[in-house]
Amino acid sequence: MTGKTHLSVGISAFMYLSDKLPGKYAFLSLIFAAIGSLFADIDHPKSIINKYLLPFRNNRNKVIFYLTVGIVLLYLDDKYMTSMVVKIAGLSSIMIGLSSHRNGFTHSIFGMLIFTLIVLTFGKTYNFENIYIYFFVGYILHLICDMCTKKGVPLLYPINNKKMKFPLAYSSNSKRGKLTEEIVVLCCIIYCTLKLPTLF
Ligand SMILES: [Zn+2]
Tens of pLDDT along 33-45?
Answer: 999 999 999 999 9
Rounded to whole angstroms, the Cα distance separating 108 from 143 reads 8
Is the model more confident about 55 or about 186?
186
Tens of pLDDT along 119-144?
Answer: 999 999 888 888 999 999 999 999 99
Tell me, in angstroms, the distance from the centre of ligand 1 to residue 79's CA.
35
| pLDDT at 129 (0 to 100) | 83
Alpha carbon distances (Å) from 17 to 119, 158, 195: 19, 31, 11
Tell me, in angstroms, the distance from the centre of ligand 1 to residue 86's CA.
25
Tell me, in angstroms, the distance from the centre of ligand 1 to residue 56's CA.
20
DSSP state of 173: T
Tell me, in angstroms, the distance from the centre of ligand 1 to residue 6's CA.
8
Tell me, in angstroms, the distance from the centre of ligand 1 to residue 41's CA.
5
Rounded to whole angstroms, the Cα distance separating 76 from 42 reads 23
Backbone angles phi and psi of 40, in degrees to 5: -55, -30
Q: Which residues surround ligand 1, an ion (CB under 5 A)?
A: 40-41, 146
Largest CA distance in the chain: 53
Tens of pLDDT along 67-106?
Answer: 999 999 999 999 998 889 999 999 999 999 998 888 889 9
pTM, entire model: 0.92
Q: What's the N-to-C CA distance of the chain in angstroms? A: 32
Question: Per-residue pLDDT for 185 more than 90?
Answer: yes
Cβ-contact 72, 95 below 8 angstroms: no
Rounded to whole angstroms, the Cα distance separating 50 from 148 reads 23
Q: Among positive and negative, which fits the CA dihedral 69, 147, 182, 59?
A: positive
Cβ-contact 142, 106 below 8 angstroms: no
Tell me, in angstroms, the distance from the centre of ligand 1 to residue 5's CA.
11
Tell me, in angstroms, the distance from the centre of ligand 1 to residue 199's CA.
29
